[in-house]
Amino acid sequence: MSATGDEITEWLARNGRKTLDVEAAKLLAAESPQQWYVASFGIKGYLIGKMTLQKYSARHILVDDSGQTKLFPTIESATAFLRNELKITNPHVFNY
Task: Encode pLDDT of 14-36 as tens digits.
Answer: 999 888 999 999 999 999 999 99
Give the pLDDT confidence score for residue 5 in this predicted structure: 62
User: Using 50, 70 and 90 to split pLDDT, how confident is the model at 75?
Assistant: very high
Task: Encode pLDDT of 36-72 as tens digits.
Answer: 999 999 899 999 999 876 655 667 899 999 999 999 9
- The answer to whether 50 and 60 have CB atoms below 8 angstroms apart is yes
Vertex 16 angle, CA 7 and 60, to 5°? 40
Range of the domain at 74: 7-94
DSSP codes joined into one string, 48-92: EEE--SS---GGGBEE-TTSSBP-BSSHHHHHHHIIIII---S-E
2 inside domain: no
Residue type for position 56 = Y
42 inside domain: yes
Q: Does 89 or 1 have the greater pLDDT score?
A: 89
17 inside domain: yes
Give the pLDDT confidence score for residue 6 in this predicted structure: 75
